Every structure is written in C-alpha cells, then in structure tokens.
Structure 1
C-alpha cells in the first residue's frame, strides 16, 4: 500500500560563503516560533529513477528509493503548486512498487525506469515549536553530494517543511529572517533538479505552450499540447481518486476532440478523426462514475429541499440502494481503461500527432485570419441547433434537440476560449456568453436524465411495497424546472450575439 502526504515547504541556499560559515540563524522568536529543538543528524542515501529521456524530471516529478531516516522507502513526489507537493510513499524494496508505477504509467508507458542520480545527504534536523511545544515545522540543513557517472556536485541546502495544518505565512516569516542572515530561496525546485543541472544533465525543455510564429498551425498545436499535457497530468489524480480529477481529464479529452473538428482547415481530419474517436472512448469509460455522482447529488439536493412530511417510507435507503446498484464497478472500469494497452496507444498517438502534425495549407496563414472563421463557424452551428430545437413542440424530440444544442454550445465555447490568446477580448466575451447558454442547456439535460432516474426509482419503490409519492413529486419538480429553462433559453441566447472577431492590432 502507498501513503500520501501533502508537503508545503520552502528550500533555501546560502548566497555567500561568508553566510554559509555563519550557518542557519536561530529562529526563536520568529512569528509563532517559541523554541528550536535539535533532533540530531541522519545520513540519507537516495537513488532517483527516471526514463532515459527524463520524462519525470521534465514534468517536475521525482521518484526515489531512499535508505536512512525514519521514512526510508520509495517516494514519488507530484507537484501541486509552487512549494507544494504530494509525496506518495511505499515500503522499501528492490523494484518500483506497483502503486507508484501505476501513477507514472501515463508518462513512462513502455519505457523503463532507470537510476539517474544518487544523492548522499547528511541532514541536521530541528523542530520549530510554538509556545505550547506543538510542532510548527521541521528545519533541515543538508550537506548534499550528487553523483551521476563520473560527474559529481556538492552543496548545502536548507529546507523548512510545515507541519500539518500550519499557516503557510510562517514560511514568509522564516524567509524574511533567513534573508537577513544571507540565505535566499533556492533557484532549484528540488534536489534532483539541482543535481541534474550541476552534473550537466538538465531535463529536456518542454515544448512552448504558446504559439511562436503567429500562424494558425502554431496556435492550434500549442492549444493541443496544453490539453495533452493536462490529460496526462490528471492521470495520477484519477488513480488517486482526487476530487474533480475525472471531470478535468474528461474536459481535456473533449477539448482536443472539439479542436480537431473546429480546425478542420488547419489539421487533416483523416488523421485526427480516429484519434478523436479514441478520446471519445476514454471520456466514456471515465464518465460512468462522474455522471452518477452528479446525478445523485442533484437528486439529494432536491430531496433535501422537500419537507419531511412529503417523504414517507425509507426514502434515503431506497436512494442508497439505487445508487449502489448503478455505481457498482464504475471506478474499476475507469481504472481498467487507464491500465489498458488501448489507452497507452492513444497517448502515443497524441504524441505522434503533435510531433508530426498533419497540417493543411491554411495552417501557414496568420491565426488572426483563420481562427475567426473557425470560431464563427461553430457559433453558426450552435445557432442552427438552437433554432431547430425551439421550433419543435415540447416533448421528447425537443429534449433530444436541446441536448444536441448543448453539445454544440460546448464546442463553440471551447473554440472561443482557445482563440483568446490570438483574438483577445471579443473571443473572451463570446466564450463567457456561450458558457451561459451551455450551462442553461446543461441544466435542462440534467433534468431530463434525472426524470428518467426518478421514474426508475419510483418503480423500484413501488415494487418493494413502498410509497412512490416523493419520487413523483421530484419528477414533477424536474419537469417544471426543464420547462422554465426552455422559457429562459431565447433570452440567454439573444445575449450571446454574434461577435466581430479579429486579431488585436500590434
């Protein structure tokens, strides 16, 4: 099994040799620090693993096998934000533990994890305590030696890691005290990054996220790289079952599929369509659990709004039974998809497409000329679907048409959002206006799905000899809500008027 810990820390180094000779200043009296308790010195021996082309280092991840200290074992560190990482630990062994290997699968794929750098550290540890003797942070002073082949480097590093639940403002106070004593925040984000840099094996630079030459092709490819990277980054989060991770991974896949369709004048659809279908498969496999969560939360919320007198019988128990039956195996299905050869083939296909993009002749045209036409094409497509839906009589056919309009709204929104770097404020305003249309249509579709679920729950309740009254009440409320959204749609759509899009001057 693997354990996870959130690390909030800051690394420092001495700015001058004179400061290093003076050593780390006494932090007693800094902010809430009332005492500094010496915990002794420990020797640490860590070997860092990566692929031969250093894919983990390029994304800011570190995987090490460390002996010595209280937490010896395997450690995988995943970046969360600057100065914040999640450390996933597993017991010491000779090979990479399977739980950690799974979290790296989207990056490592069929490559091998090999030893890259060995770090030998002599660590002096102190505890920073408050007036009650409670731990605020751990202060470590490391004498580090990095070895990689015949190359070696040595340095002194000071690290302050907060205890759980401590306000990060403490790190600002420590930094101010350190600055006066000649220490500065380290330029290197991690020991590994510094070791690679100082032994002349710096990680490969990631492709630029923004267009370099102003062409439509450069713009579209930069956007696709961003979404590819987001999909890969969310993979370990989905495996760890982190909040919103499935949703974010699905969004990345949908944005790529949408971009393939929007930019048919830039990228050859004969190449992108098969990849888009695989992205659709992935989103579908991931979505079972997420869609059920959203549906359950909607029904619960509406149920909580009803007076208890309208909820006769074992209403909550019936809802739990229904949800359990629907949710069974959905997470296993999502994880099985992420572990499948088909998923790895999809990631390889995305890499290949971005490495050798199937560009068409308009890819060489300025983004300011090509993107407005693509965005407005998706806008016109949305307008047509809304018009078709509103022309139908209320009922099943209109519900289906509004669902198609919702999908068109999502595509138009994604197109406008992706065009903001090239087209500026007009594209941003369009994206916000279309998002409101999408949200309204989304709420309408959620109501359609909820009514189907409520009909099924009511039938199950009746079959079990229970009252189905409350499920009928909720059904009627959903029906009224959907009708309200349909009445609101013309006004919300009118606010998303067709814009004039052009590249900003200069």
Structure 2
C-alpha cells in the first residue's frame, strides 16, 4: 500500500571532496567491519529544493526538497539534530509541498510562501557495506551533481554549478565507529571533508544565492549581553516548534522553558529597554508558556500519579484505579495536545515570533543598557535574589494551608527568575553566577515538587469524587492523597536547609567580584 503519512528517518552522514581527477571510491573491503561491499549500480536523482525567497530555511540548515528517482522518491524535510546528524521527514510525492511539512517549518517561514530555489540533478554510484549477519553498516556513494538556480517562475536563471562529491551514510543499526573507520580509509585515499554540509548549501553558494548570516558582533555592554541571551532563547523557541509538532519527548517542556527564560530576561532587565516594547512581549510570552503548560503539566501529573499507583502493594488497589486514571489521561491528553497544536498554528503565535525578531533586530535600549556589564548585571541578579528572600520569608510565616501553598508557589517563580537572571549574566560573571544559578535551581526544585504535590492532591480529590459517584471504592485515591499531603509537609521541612545554602552571602559577594 502506498505511503500516505510522513515518516521519519534518522540520517547520520559525512560528506567528502574527492581528490583532483578521482571519480571513484577506494577499496572499502574490511572497513568498519565490512565483510561484503556490494555495488548498487547507478541512480539518476532529480531534486527541486524549496525555501522562502530570502532563504530562511537555508539560514537554519534546514532543507526541503521534492525528489524523484531512487527508492525514496517524495518530499524530504531535513531538520538538523547535531553535526552530521539530521532527521529526514518523508512524505509522498505531490505537486505542492505537503501541509504536514509546511507546518513543520512554519516557525521559520511564518507567512512567507515556499518557492523553488534550486534544482539538483545527480548521478549516484553507490555501494553498500554489510557486516556479520548481513547487517547494513553503511552506504557510500559518489554523486556527480549539476545544479541550476531557479527564478520566481521556477524556470532556470542560467546560473549553474557542477561538482562531484562522496557521501558515507550510516546504516540504521550501525554505530558511529563505522563512520570513523570509513573516514580513516577515505582520508588515506586523499578524500577530505566537504566544505558544505549539504548539496543544497553548496548549490546556493555556487549559483549566486546569499544566505543571511546570523548575529556575529560580540556583546559589549550590559544590554548587549541580555540581547544575546534573548537571541539564544528565541532561536531555541523557533527550533523546538517542529519538535513539539512531532510530539517528541520533552519538546513541550523545553519550548516552555525557552519562553519563560525569555520573559524572565525581559522582566529582570526591563529598566534597560523601552517597556512599551518589552512589556507586551512579556505578556505574549506568558500566554505562550501558559498554553504550552496545559499539555506539559498534564503529562507530568499523569506520569506522577501512575508511578504512585504502581508503587502501591496490590491489596491497597481497590476498584478499577488504573482504568480510571487511563481514561482521565486520555480525555485530558487529547484535548491538551489539540490545544497546543492550535496555538502553534495561530496568528497570535506567529505575531509573537515576528515581534521577537523585530526586538532582536533593533533592541530598544535605554540608558541603563549601555552600562559596563559586570556591575550592572550583578546588581540585577542580586535584586532578583532579594525578591526570592522576601517571598520565602512571607510564605514561611504563614500557617499551613492554601494561603501558604500559594505563597510558596510565588516564591518558586521568583527563584526561577533569579536563576534565569544569573544564567543570562554568566558569560560576564562566570563561576559565581553559575553557582548562584545552581543554588536557585535547588530552591526552585524543592518548591516545584511542593507545588506538584499541591496540584496532585487537587486531582486526586477529583478522581475520588468521580469514583464515588460511579459506585467505585475511593479508598486508593484517598490513600494517595494522604501520601501526597505527607510529601508536601516533608518538602516544607526541607526548604530551610536548601534556602540556607542558596542564601550563602559568600556566593552573593562573589557576584560583585
């Protein structure tokens, strides 16, 4: 049956330039444990690469192509994972870019159309290396490439390029040592690592396209360092968008963290920038983090309750506890997942990304932003510490109960902001800022676990009521509620010890040099 949904293949490869006059690979017998090297013949490949007119995908090392020829003809979207490693997401052939792939690049393209930019026709001569048990270790190929730049009407402009390159791609079950062994064999034969990481990158460069470079000017002032931190978190936000859409593990959490770090930086250092710009940005980042939290918080809570049930002895499980939790998880997960995807497809989210780009392109710096970085950044970090101190003192002065729980939750958020403030200052303040951030993270962790316990108790109460209404025993839910209440009390007793370490005046003194 023909494939109708995108599939993902992890691609690990290395590209090489052949020595002058070479048109074939050296003998690879035995390389990387190969017991057989089998030629695969020649294949004609024809690929049209798509991008925005200003090459936003190429600037992010993302490639999108429609290719015919070969065993994997179709649309291929390649997203960088690490050096030499990409996730290739494949969709069936169609005349236009599949909607599923359009959505995966939307955080970069926004509303700009995807158009053909370059066409590559390649003649590939490949060989496959097999190890013991007929395991595919790698495929090594020589590609003779002809590239043509395409104009607005998708017709060739006359700008062309041609070259020959070699490529070694790791087999699906082989380890990176195979590529290391092949690398040694290929280098010994005179091949050298290619300058470009992809055929598209080389084709664009050699047919006259100019790919926009990222920010290169090193930060000088205090404001520059905050902008550099905001730039890194914005890049993370954009890069995590397709991972969230693909439902990859921890992607929602990491995207939420990036949005919170951004908002925290804008809030902590707000006196250095025009608040008419930063405050609306902060509000939109808070909205995004809250929306992402619907999915993430449910994921964490569901895993927490499942683990608590699994830890109970069998005789203490009365009624269909796992079935009820599973039904609750499915109901909420389906709704939260759909809501997250709707947010990422919303005009409001895309407007936020555009606003962040505008802020980074022309930061609206005020007088404080031009200060010498060390003293200015340390002052902001210590001010953030002061807010944590005040909130912890206020919370611990309250009697146990909902008001105290709410105050501890507020202290947790202040500790998180102080941690992020120190992270932004670390390039200038070095080790002291790193130590301060770690201590604030310890405080945040204890208070976060306490808040998780508060939320878990509320959910357990709801589950107990639903079980009772359905005529089921609510004993297990009550037992779990009691365990969570005891856990919350234990964390409150632990807080003074953790806070004492974080409040060490020697750490604060070190921030001032």
Measure, in 1, the Cα distance between the counterparts of 2:363 and 2:81.
31
Measure, in 1, the Cα distance between the counterparts of 2:326 and 2:27.
57
Aligned structure 1 segments of 4 or more residues deviating by more than 4 angstroms: 501-504
- Determine if the alignment matches structure 1 residue 403 to structure 2 residue 409: yes
Alpha carbons of structure 1 residues 335 and 213: separation in structure 2 relative to 1, 3 Å? closer
| 1:50-89 matched pairs, under 5 angstroms | 50-89=51-90
| 1:163-178 matched pairs, under 5 angstroms | 163-178=171-186
Q: Which range is displaced more, 73-82 or 319-328? A: 319-328
| 1:36-435 matched pairs, under 5 angstroms | 36-148=37-149, 149-208=157-216, 212-435=218-441
Measure, in 2, the Cα distance between the counterparts of 1:387 and 1:495.
15
- Alpha-carbon contact 2:136-2:174 (below 8 Å) kept: no
| 1:437-448 matched pairs, under 5 angstroms | 437-448=443-454
Q: SS of the residue aligned with 2:32? A: coil
Measure, in 1, the Cα distance between the counterparts of 2:453 and 2:13.
45
Aligned partner of 2:20 in structure 1 is 17
Q: SS of the residue aligned with 1:12? A: strand
Q: SS of the residue aligned with 1:6? A: strand
Measure, in 2, the Cα distance between the counterparts of 1:500 and 1:270.
34
Q: Which range is displaced more, 105-114 or 398-407? A: 105-114
Which string of whole-angstrom CA distances, capped at 9 and with x for unpartnered residues, describes residues 426-476 of structure 1? 000000011000000000000000000111111111111111111111111
Measure, in 2, the Cα distance between the counterparts of 1:334 and 1:315.
28
Aligned partner of 1:494 in structure 2 is 500
Measure, in 2, the Cα distance between the counterparts of 1:301 and 1:197.
53
TM-score (norm 2): 0.95
Measure, in 1, the Cα distance between the counterparts of 2:333 and 2:246.
18
Which string of whole-angstrom CA distances, capped at 9 and with x for unpartnered residues, describes residues 291-316 of structure 1? 11100111111222211111122111
- Alpha-carbon contact 1:35-1:128 (below 8 Å) kept: yes
Measure, in 2, the Cα distance between the counterparts of 1:253 and 1:349.
13
- Alpha-carbon contact 2:32-2:177 (below 8 Å) kept: no
- Alpha-carbon contact 1:372-1:501 (below 8 Å) kept: no
Which string of whole-angstrom CA distances, capped at 9 and with x for unpartnered residues, describes residues 161-214 of structure 1? 112121111000000011111011212111111112222324111113xx6242
- Alpha-carbon contact 1:422-1:503 (below 8 Å) kept: no
Query: What's the CA shift for 1:501?
Result: 4.7
- Alpha-carbon contact 2:48-2:120 (below 8 Å) kept: yes
- Alpha-carbon contact 2:74-2:90 (below 8 Å) kept: yes
Q: SS of the residue aligned with 2:247? A: coil
Q: SS of the residue aligned with 1:174? A: helix
Q: SS of the residue aligned with 1:500? A: helix
Which string of whole-angstrom CA distances, capped at 9 and with x for unpartnered residues, describes residues 408-436 of structure 1? 01100111111110110000000001100
Q: SS of the residue aligned with 2:272? A: coil
Q: SS of the residue aligned with 1:132? A: helix
- Alpha-carbon contact 2:32-2:179 (below 8 Å) kept: no
Aligned length: 499
Aligned partner of 2:153 in structure 1 is none
TM-score (norm 1): 0.96
Which string of whole-angstrom CA distances, capped at 9 and with x for unpartnered residues, describes residues 142-179 of structure 1? 01111123222211111111121211110000000111
Measure, in 1, the Cα distance between the counterparts of 2:71 and 2:326.
43
User: Structure 2: 5+ residue runs without aligned partners?
Assistant: 150-156
Measure, in 2, the Cα distance between the counterparts of 1:110 and 1:322.
37
Alpha carbons of structure 1 residues 136 and 503: separation in structure 2 relative to 1, 3 Å? farther
Query: What's the CA shift for 1:8?
Result: 1.1
- Alpha-carbon contact 2:233-2:258 (below 8 Å) kept: yes
Query: What's the CA shift for 1:328?
Result: 3.4
Aligned partner of 1:464 in structure 2 is 470
- Alpha-carbon contact 2:121-2:147 (below 8 Å) kept: yes
Aligned partner of 1:475 in structure 2 is 481
Measure, in 2, the Cα distance between the counterparts of 1:282 and 1:233.
15
User: Structure 1: 5+ residue runs without aligned partners?
Assistant: none
